[in-house]
């Protein structure tokens, strides 16, 4: 494959919001318990946090953490998770057919978020609960003191208010699986009145309305439109959720999942802009892509799901997907899609962080390790700085069942005007052919290549596991050469690459 690309700092899409590199921690399976929190683990301190996991989370570079769900939040009573731990109730978690011991709650998670160095993004329960409980948790979390709820937080040891800025108004309320699932009109009215009331406490909050749980939802489009007709003036973001997996072994379509993500984002933006036009509004809505990943959902649905009415385990092994090189290439391409939409996608949360469809895995009492998806996430979070640039990329295409004709390569660049550096993120979707890419960097001035790292493997199904935690990693791409004004780089089949220019 031969390809040509032009990088030009004038082709600006928009500034990259650091919130694009967020993640998500749900009370689900072993994400919290036996994940970030495992008292008794050799690396855990007196607060029960695993230091080895914390270190990997910092290395991953996540900027925000969405919490506490997910489907879990739609049945959650936030007050169960605060106050003396020994007095906290144990509850059935209907979303994941588990028992929630409430050993970790809002105050503990806020403290852990600080240790990570990230921003907490909180979801309120609009499934089994409503406006009053949203106000209560906001007052508990953010008011400095002097009211019963805020003083309760101070009394519980969290003296400083948590200062949570971003709030999700429920979760996936379009999904029949969601506790309290409602129509778009019902949810839209509730979300709008909850948002208005929350703004009476603090008008500067940033609020996220639930958009569709995926472009495949039968209500996709009309759900988003109706919800926004109710909430447009009250919220700042509409959420998108999307998970990708190979369907019937069709790897060609799977490798082009980012084309599906691009189209999903474009459709949601078009819908939001339609409502903007119909309302003659001056406000432009942003997208919070607050759940995205590769997820072998069919494995959960057909194998792991707990249905026995007598079985309500604490922290069962759920959604523990092992990610291959192939998955990580698709994943890296999804990040390219998010970055390419930086003008409108201003927040995103990789679902999830530890053990549950996660870049970091742990073994109780044992080690923690990086999955293949860890690498494109950490390098994108570290190197995508400044503004996103649209690339001019000419390459051959191939045909897919799901997305039609798609380019064999995909990419995006970022440019940091403060030091004139650029990063180029590239994916080769071909299953068998390497791609030689000629990069025209003339518009950037006299740049020199810095780091060039590639994720690929002769075995695209290779993965990191407990038995072999470092089987897959990034390698330096030594193919890079200068040819006059151009750079040449070779991308192996099924690969993700980042190249920096200084």
Catalytic amino acids?
A: 172, 291
Phi, psi angles (nearest 5°) of residue 230: -80, -35
Question: Which window, 49-57, 67-75, 180-188, 430-438, contacts ligand AHR (CB under 6 A)?
Answer: 67-75
Q: Which residues does 172 contact at the CB level (< 8 Å), separation at least 6?
A: 71, 74, 178, 210, 213, 241
- Rounded to 10 deg, the angle between the 374-383 and 51-60 helix axes is 50
Q: What is the number of other CB atoms lying within 10 angstroms of the CB of residue 419?
A: 9
Shortest distance (Å) from residue 332 CB to ligand AHR: 19
- Rounded to 10 deg, the angle between the 131-142 and 106-116 helix axes is 50
Question: Which window, 14-22, 65-73, 436-444, 466-474, contacts ligand AHR (CB under 6 A)?
Answer: 65-73
Q: Which DSSP state fits 160? A: S
Identify which of residues 71 and 428 has a Cβ nearer to ligand AHR in the complex: 71
Q: Which of residues 160-179 bind ligand AHR (CB under 6 A)?
A: 171-172
Q: Which residues does 468 contact at the CB level (< 8 Å), separation at least 6?
A: none
- Give which of 234, 233, 241 is closest to 215, Cα–Cα: 241
- Give which of 13, 83, 89 is closest to 340, Cα–Cα: 13
Identify which of residues 16 and 62 has a Cβ nearer to ligand AHR in the complex: 62
Report if residue 376 touches ligand AHR, rule: CB under 6 A.
Answer: no
Report if residue 69 touches ligand AHR, rule: CB under 6 A.
Answer: yes
Report if residue 70 touches ligand AHR, rule: CB under 6 A.
Answer: yes
Report if residue 93 touches ligand AHR, rule: CB under 6 A.
Answer: no
Q: Which DSSP state fits 33? A: B
Shortest distance (Å) from residue 176 CB to ligand AHR: 11
Q: Which of 3, 5, 7, 26 binds ligand AHR (CB under 6 A)?
A: 26
Identify which of residues 207 and 408 has a Cβ nearer to ligand AHR in the complex: 207
- For the chain, the 3-state helix, strand and coil shares in percent, each to the nearest 5, are 30, 25, 45
Per DSSP (E only), the strands in 319-430 are: 345-351, 360-362, 368-370, 387-389, 392-394, 397-400, 404-407, 409-416, 421-428
Identify which of residues 75 and 386 has a Cβ nearer to ligand AHR in the complex: 75
Report if residue 25 touches ligand AHR, rule: CB under 6 A.
Answer: no
Identify which of residues 261 and 460 has a Cβ nearer to ligand AHR in the complex: 261
Shortest distance (Å) from residue 392 CB to ligand AHR: 36
Joined together, the tokens standing for residue 241 give 């959720």
Q: Which residues does 44 contact at the CB level (< 8 Å), separation at least 6?
A: 37, 38, 50, 51
Shortest distance (Å) from residue 456 CB to ligand AHR: 27
**Euclidean distance between CA atoms 459 and 404, whole angstroms:** 26
Q: Which residues does 1 contact at the CB level (< 8 Å), separation at least 6?
A: 395, 396, 408, 409, 428, 430, 433, 434, 435, 436
Identify which of residues 297 and 471 has a Cβ nearer to ligand AHR in the complex: 297
Joined together, the tokens standing for residue 502 give 């200084």
Q: Which of 5, 120, 258, 351 binds ligand AHR (CB under 6 A)?
A: 351
For residues 115 to 154, the per-residue mask of contacts with ligand AHR, x marking binding by CB under 6 A and - elsewhere, is: ----------------------------------------
Task: Say which residue the tokens 């072994």 belong to.
Answer: 249
Identify which of residues 13 and 353 has a Cβ nearer to ligand AHR in the complex: 353
Shortest distance (Å) from residue 237 CB to ligand AHR: 16
**Euclidean distance between CA atoms 136 and 77, whole angstroms:** 11
Q: Is 137 helix (H, G, I), strand (E, B) or coil?
A: helix
Shortest distance (Å) from residue 175 CB to ligand AHR: 7
Identify which of residues 319 and 444 has a Cβ nearer to ligand AHR in the complex: 319
Question: Which window, 1-9, 50-58, 69-77, 452-460, contacts ligand AHR (CB under 6 A)?
Answer: 69-77
- First CA to last CA distance, the chain: 27
Q: Which of 71, 98, 231, 373 binds ligand AHR (CB under 6 A)?
A: 71
Phi, psi angles (nearest 5°) of residue 64: -130, 160
Output the residue with the shortest Cβ distance to ligand AHR.
70
For ligand AHR (CB under 6 A), the number of binding residues is: 10
Report if residue 352 touches ligand AHR, rule: CB under 6 A.
Answer: yes
Shortest distance (Å) from residue 355 CB to ligand AHR: 12
Identify which of residues 26 and 107 has a Cβ nearer to ligand AHR in the complex: 26
Question: Which window, 51-59, 63-71, 216-224, 371-379, contacts ligand AHR (CB under 6 A)?
Answer: 63-71
Report if residue 291 touches ligand AHR, rule: CB under 6 A.
Answer: yes
Tell me: cis bond preceding 228? Omega within 30 of 0 counts. no
Q: Give me the residues paired with residue 482 across strands.
A: 487
Question: Which window, 64-72, 80-88, 153-161, 219-227, contacts ligand AHR (CB under 6 A)?
Answer: 64-72
Footprint of ligand AHR on this chain (CB under 6 A)?
A: 26, 69-71, 171-172, 213, 291, 351-352
């Amino acid at each position: 494959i031969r390809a040509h690309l032009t990088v030009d700092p004038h082709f600006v899409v928009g500034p990259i919001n650091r919130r694009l590199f967020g993640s998500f921690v749900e009370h689900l399976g072993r994400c919290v318990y036996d994940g970030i929190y495992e008292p008794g683990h050799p690396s855990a301190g007196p607060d029960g946090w695993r230091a080895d996991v914390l270190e990997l989370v910092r290395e991953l570079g996540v900027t925000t953490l969405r919490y506490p769900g997910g489907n879990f939040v739609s049945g959650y009573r936030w007050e169960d998770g605060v106050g003396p731990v020994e007095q906290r109730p144990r509850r059935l978690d209907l979303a994941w057919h588990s028992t929630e011991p409430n050993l970790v709650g809002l105050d503990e998670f806020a403290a852990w978020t600080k240790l990570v160095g990230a921003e907490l993004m909180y979801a309120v329960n609009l499934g089994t609960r409503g406006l009053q409980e949203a106000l209560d948790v906001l007052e508990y979390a953010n008011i400095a003191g002097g009211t019963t709820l805020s003083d309760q937080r101070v009394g519980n040891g969290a003296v400083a208010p948590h200062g949570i800025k971003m709030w999700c108004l429920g979760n996936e309320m379009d999904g029949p699986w969601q506790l309290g699932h409602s129509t778009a009109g019902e949810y839209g009215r509730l979300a709008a009145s909850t948002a208005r009331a929350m703004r009476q406490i603090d008008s500067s909050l940033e609020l996220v309305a639930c958009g569709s749980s995926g472009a495949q939802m039968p209500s996709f489009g009309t759900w988003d439109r109706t919800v926004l007709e109710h909430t447009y003036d009250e919220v700042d973001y509409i959420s998108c959720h999307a998970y990708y997996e190979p369907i019937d072994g069709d790897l060609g379509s799977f490798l082009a999942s980012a084309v599906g993500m691009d189209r999903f984002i474009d459709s949601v933006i078009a819908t939001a802009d339609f409502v903007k036009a119909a309302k003659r509004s001056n406000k432009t809505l942003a997208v919070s892509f607050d759940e995205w990943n590769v997820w072998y959902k069919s494995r959960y649905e057909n194998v792991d799901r707990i249905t026995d009415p007598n079985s309500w385990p604490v922290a069962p092994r759920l959604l523990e997907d092992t990610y291959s090189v192939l998955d990580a290439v698709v994943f890296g391409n999804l990040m390219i899609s998010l970055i390419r939409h930086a003008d409108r996608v201003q927040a995103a949360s990789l679902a999830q962080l530890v053990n549950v469809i996660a870049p970091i895995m742990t073994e109780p009492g044992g080690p923690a390790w990086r999955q293949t998806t860890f690498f494109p996430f950490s390098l994108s979070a570290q190197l995508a700085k400044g503004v996103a640039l649209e690339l001019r990329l000419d390459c051959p295409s191939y045909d897919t069942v799901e997305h039609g004709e798609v380019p064999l390569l995909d990419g995006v660049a970022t440019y940091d005007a403060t030091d004139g550096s650029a990063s180029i993120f590239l994916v080769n979707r071909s299953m068998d052919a390497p791609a030689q890419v000629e990069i025209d960097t003339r518009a950037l001035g006299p740049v020199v290549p810095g780091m060039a790292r590639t994720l690929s493997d002769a075995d695209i199904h290779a993965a990191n596991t407990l038995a072999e935690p470092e089987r897959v990693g990034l390698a330096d791409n030594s193919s890079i050469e200068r040819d006059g004004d151009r750079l040449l780089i070779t991308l192996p089949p099924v690969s993700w690459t980042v190249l920096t220019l200084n």
